[in-house]
Chains A and B, each alone.
Chain A
Amino acid sequence: MTLAEAGYRDMELARRILARIESDMQGADDMRLMEVCGTHTVAIARSGLRRAVPGNLGLLSGPGCPVCVTPGGYIDAAAGLAARGVTVVTFGDMVRVPGNQTSLEAARAAGGRLVVASSVTAALDLARRSTKEVVFLAVGFETTAPTIAAAVLAAGRERLGNFSVLASHKLVPPALRLILGDADCAVSGFILPGHVSAVIGTRPYGFLVEEFGVPGVVTGFEPVDVLAGIEELVRRVRSGEPKIVNAYRRVVREEGNPKAWDAVMEVFEVADSAWRGIGQIAKSGLALREGYAAFDAARRYGVELDDVALPEGCACGQVLRGVLRPTECPLFGARCTPGAPVGPCMVSSEGACAASYRYGEK
């Protein structure tokens, strides 16, 4: 058997689903759906879907870009570590994000040690091969946290004394709760993140239905996945039958990946966390447990991470909560572009502003 992924890019099937969405939305009140995953942000922007769906259906991008919600203070602290000779290993999209005082790019230009990698494994391997201090910038949602946990567990087994992680992991369900609790919130349904859900499963979203009466559909990232997810949501919102639906069964199980989540819970505990442009959200992040304090770069180097300020004039905070569209920010496309970004949402390719700019959304 081969992968069926090409079938999810079938444009004829996509066209038919879009036609169904059009008929579902005929005569309907304005409806706003939100995705909360950077990969969905890019998939929707790239396909031009926001303009293809009926005018009374709005597709919003929520706080699904981990780089965008990482506090400026964290960036400054990481840049500071690189400047003082620690080898800082990071995912590439962190490099250009402006902190509140500096950036990793600036620290590297000034001679700081910065290594870009696509996996925490690269940082582990560096630490194994040298006696230099190595810090991995552990950002990302529930998808990424298990990989960091596995690395910390390996470092513990091997008694690696020169490896630590600067952790700023964020959890998706508490952010959804915050968005729905906002008085300005106009979100009728959520396109739920497929790869976060591959790890945590579908149960953690139950409160959307039980407490808020809002449906959610876990979807994949190909055009047919996204459109079928939207169609399911539109139908459920209009008929008043909210439910959490798993439309990405090829990788999402109801229970997620318990092995991966057990690793996370062995190394981390759920803690309050600071989201850039939004503020503290209760129980929305992960902090290293006391037993793994030796691998916690924040404790090891005594750095403060939580300054969540944004550059002046930047409306990322409102964009991340779906209150403003990227194009409604006065800086968008004028003073703030991917070439010369002011705020984090314009830096990461997964940021709502960068995706909007790149794919010419109005």
Chain B
Amino acid sequence: MCLSVPGRVLAMEGTRGTVDVAGNTVEADFALTPDVRPGDYVLVHAGFSIQRYDAAEAQETLRLFHEAFKDAGE
């Protein structure tokens, strides 16, 4: 039930707007993340943006995992 999906904010009007989630446009409420702007990545849960999605951090974590496990299973 805590299923949440990342996406990119397309448009906002007041606290309502739309997010591109894997190519689908979904409606979202931004009352819980008032600082986001169109173009930002957010995490959408049950019709609300609940947190920013940090795309740079996503790349960095992945880089660290590749580094940590580069010799595993050889």
- Mark contacts of A117-136 with chain B using CB atoms, 8 A cut-off: 1 yes-contact digit, 0 otherwise: 01111100000000000000
Binds B, one of A8-16, A75-83, A300-308, A310-318: A8-16
Q: B1 near A350 (CB under 8 angstroms)? A: yes
Q: B51 near A65 (CB under 8 angstroms)? A: no
Provide the residues of chain B in CB contact with A259, threshold 8 Å.
32-34
B57 in complex: contacting residue of A7, A153, A250, CB < 8 Å: A250
- Mark contacts of A211-253 with chain B using CB atoms, 8 A cut-off: 1 yes-contact digit, 0 otherwise: 0000000000000100010010000000000000001111111
User: When chains A and B are docked, how far (Å) is the Cα of A350 from the Cα of B3?
Assistant: 10
Provide the residues of chain B in CB contact with A15, threshold 8 Å.
73
Asked if B50 is an interface residue, CB under 8 A from chain A, the answer is yes
Distance of B38 from chain A, by nearest CB (Å) = 15
Distance of B5 from chain A, by nearest CB (Å) = 9
Q: State the interface size on chain A (CB cutoff 8 A).
A: 59
Asked if B43 is an interface residue, CB under 8 A from chain A, the answer is yes
Give residues of chain B (48-70) contacting chain A, Cβ–Cβ below 8 Å.
Answer: 48, 50-62, 65-66, 68-70
A4 in complex: contacting residue of B1, B29, B32, B55, CB < 8 Å: B55
Binds B, one of A195-203, A267-275, A291-299, A324-332: A195-203
User: When chains A and B are docked, how far (Å) is the Cα of A18 from the Cα of B73?
Assistant: 8
User: When chains A and B are docked, how far (Å) is the Cα of A262 from the Cα of B12?
Assistant: 23
Q: A195 near B2 (CB under 8 angstroms)? A: yes
B2 in complex: contacting residue of A37, A154, A247, CB < 8 Å: A37
Which residue of chain A is the closest to B31 with respect to CB atoms? Answer: A150
Asked if A39 is an interface residue, CB under 8 A from chain B, the answer is yes
Distance of B18 from chain A, by nearest CB (Å) = 13
Q: A140 near B59 (CB under 8 angstroms)? A: no
Distance of B41 from chain A, by nearest CB (Å) = 7
Provide the residues of chain A in CB contact with B65, threshold 8 Å.
13, 17, 224, 228
B47 in complex: contacting residue of A39, A66, A120, CB < 8 Å: A120
Provide the residues of chain B in CB contact with A257, threshold 8 Å.
32-33, 50-51
**Interface SS majority for chain A:** helix
Provide the residues of chain A in CB contact with B54, threshold 8 Å.
249-251
Which residue of chain B is the closest to A348 with respect to CB atoms? Answer: B1
- Mark contacts of A15-28 with chain B using CB atoms, 8 A cut-off: 1 yes-contact digit, 0 otherwise: 11111100100000
User: When chains A and B are docked, how far (Å) is the Cα of A98 from the Cα of B48?
Assistant: 29
Distance of A52 from chain B, by nearest CB (Å) = 13
Asked if A207 is an interface residue, CB under 8 A from chain B, the answer is no
Asked if A143 is an interface residue, CB under 8 A from chain B, the answer is yes
Which residue of chain A is the closest to B5 with respect to CB atoms? Answer: A5
Q: A119 near B34 (CB under 8 angstroms)? A: no
Asked if A93 is an interface residue, CB under 8 A from chain B, the answer is yes
Q: B56 near A119 (CB under 8 angstroms)? A: no
User: When chains A and B are docked, how far (Å) is the Cα of A18 from the Cα of B72?
Assistant: 9
Q: Do A144 and B2 contact each other (CB < 8 Å), given the known contacts A8-B62, A121-B47, A150-B48?
A: yes
Known pairs A3-B6, A37-B2 / 6 extra A-B pairs, C-beta < 8 Å: A67-B1, A121-B29, A143-B2, A195-B2, A250-B61, A348-B1
A sample of 25 cross-chain residue pairs with beta-carbon separation below 8 angstroms, ordered by A number, consists of A1-B59, A3-B6, A4-B55, A7-B62, A15-B73, A20-B72, A23-B72, A38-B1, A65-B1, A118-B47, A121-B27, A144-B2, A146-B32, A147-B45, A153-B31, A195-B4, A195-B45, A199-B51, A224-B62, A224-B65, A250-B54, A251-B4, A251-B52, A251-B54, A259-B33
Name the 8 nearest CB pairs between A and B, nearest first: A119-B47, A19-B73, A250-B58, A4-B58, A20-B72, A143-B2, A16-B72, A195-B2
